[in-house]
Amino acid sequence: MIGRLKGVLAAKQPPWLLLDVGGVGYELEAPMSTFFDLPEPGREVVLRTHYAVKDDTVVLYGFLREDERSLFRALQKVSGIGAKIALAVLSGVSVEEFSRLVQAGDTAALTRIPGVGKKTAERIVLELRDRAAAFPAAAGGATGAAPGDPVSEATIALQTLGYKPAEVTRLVRDAATPGDRAEDIIRKALKAALR
């Protein structure tokens, strides 16, 4: 199993990133919380990873912080939640905010995350409430700009997270301002979607 990778960030296009480790390019899928804090391509980065094998696919997930990976793994132990919803949760709220929502039993706020319906939110609260306080942990990371057209990158990332195209168009239009990076647009759009 691959638990950690250290290498040069070769490319990032939400939700995928490419990490060059000694000449081998590892493709990883990552939540937006990790993308927000990634350095610019060409810089060295250390990622905690989760290696998943399902049916006929193998996927490597990458996280800058251990608390993100721990929450990703804990969410998938909840009945009916897979990697896609776990990534959406990490992309929609911080680990600290998730912990607060679960401890408070705020299912209404959890349902505003794409892919999380009322029954799923109730299962999350029921199954993770006792462990929610343990999720927040040490954080840290560097920020950097993503290459390419920020509006297009934000649009693709939000659609990948499960938002409908019409909703993505509205969210990006309302969030984007001149000079914004894709990460800025996505962050503002996700905050607006959770209101």
What is the per-residue pLDDT for 56? Answer: 84
* 145 in any annotated domain: no
pLDDT at 130: 77
Domain for residue 105, yes or no? yes
Residue 144 within any structural domain of the chain: no
Q: Given this model, what pLDDT does residue 75 score?
A: 93
Residues 155, 114 share a domain: no
Q: What is the pLDDT of residue 122?
A: 92
Positions in the chain short of pLDDT 70: 133-148
Q: What is the extent of the structural domain holding 33?
A: 4-63
Does residue 120 contact residue 96 with C-beta atoms inside 8 Å?
A: no
**CA–CA distance, 10 with 146 (Å, rounded to integer):** 11
Q: Tell me whether residue 141 is in a domain.
A: no
What is the total count of domains within the chain?
A: 3
pLDDT of residue 134: 67
pLDDT at 26: 95
The C-alpha atoms of residue 77 and residue 69 are separated, in whole angstroms, by: 13
Per-residue model confidence (pLDDT) at position 133: 67
How far apart (Å, rounded) are the C-alpha atoms in residues 147 and 153? 9
pLDDT for 119 equals 92
| Locus of tokens 């009945």 | 79
Angle made by CA atoms 151, 109, 192, in degrees to the nearest 5:
25
d(CA 178, CA 183): 13
30 lies in a domain?
yes
Q: Are residues 86 and 123 in the same domain?
A: yes
Last residue of a domain, one of 41, 63, 85: 63
The alpha carbon dihedral of 136, 65, 61, 110 has a sign of positive
Structure tokens at 102: 């679960």
Q: What pLDDT is attached to residue 179?
A: 86
| Cα of 20 vs its chain's centroid, Å | 21
Q: What is the pLDDT of residue 64?
A: 92
Residues 12 and 57 reside in one and the same domain? yes
